[in-house]
Amino acid sequence: MHMSKLSKLSLGPSALLVTSFFFIGVVFWGLFNETEIVVKYVDAGPVDRFAIGQVDQVDDLPLYVIGLENGTLRAIDTRLEGSSCLANWMPDDPRGRNINYQASYGVFEDTCSEKIWAAAGHAIGGDTPLRTPHLEPRPGVDGKQHIFVEFIILDDFASDEKSKK
């Protein structure tokens, strides 16, 4: 009877030691295998440039701004999670007419899977909507109110951009 009590006691410290080493290993793995994420705010232009229903690309980035029906703006990131594909803006495509503001043409289309999204980033056909990064108005270098869009640069996107140059 005394022996079974002793074996129960030795299991607790062993389990604590194994668990401690596991979590210490996780911390070190995180320190040395860091994913570099850079967040920058991109100037999309003066506020008066945007109109309701109008889709504007920001620089040459996979980033767009659209004026919504309620007078606000929405940013859309067309990089598709889990793939190296982009959804491209197709302004003359009629497939978005049922959902776009004032039944206007245009969809974002994934050239890899042919999935489509409406101008405001809503999925057409039940897929996940496109990502909508944060945007904020603030003064630009010209003194006018500009729209700045949050753009997250991931390791794989940054390396793709470098290889294109």
Instruction: Read off the CATH number of the domain in which 76 is found.
Output: 2.102.10.10
Residues 27, 44, single domain; the answer is no
Q: Residue 6 has which token pair? A: 């002793």
86 and 5 assigned to the same domain: no
Same domain, 30 and 43: no
pLDDT at residue number 118: 96
93: CB partners within 8 A, 6+ apart? 105, 106, 107, 109, 116
pLDDT at residue number 3: 52
This prediction has a pTM of 0.72
pLDDT in tens, the chain (165 residues): 455 555 555 677 777 878 888 888 878 777 777 667 789 999 999 999 999 999 999 999 999 999 999 999 999 999 998 788 999 999 999 999 999 999 999 999 998 888 999 999 999 976 799 999 999 999 999 999 999 999 998 655 444 444 343
Residues 72, 105, single domain; the answer is yes
Question: Helix/strand/coil (H, E, C) string of 87-148?
Answer: EEEECCCHHHCCCCHHHCCCEEEECCCCCEECCCCCEECCCCCCECCCEEEEECCCCCEEEE
4 and 71 part of one domain: no
Co-location of 29 and 60 in the same domain? no
Q: Are residues 146 and 105 in the same domain?
A: yes
Q: Are residues 8 and 49 in the same domain?
A: no
Judge if 94 and 23 occupy the same domain. no
Residue pair 132/74 in contact (Cβ under 8 Å)? The answer is yes
Q: Do residues 47 and 3 share a domain?
A: no
Residue type, 161: E
Q: For residue 49, what pLDDT is reported?
A: 93
Q: How many domains does the chain have?
A: 2
What pLDDT does residue 14 have? 76
CA 97, CA 118: separation in Å to the nearest integer? 8
CA atoms of 53 and 115, how far apart (whole Å)? 21
Query: 63 and 1 in one domain?
Result: no
Residue span of the structural domain in which 30 resides: 1-34
Integer Cα distance of 149 and 132 in angstroms? 10
Q: Examine the domain organization and report whether 41 and 77 are in the same domain.
A: yes
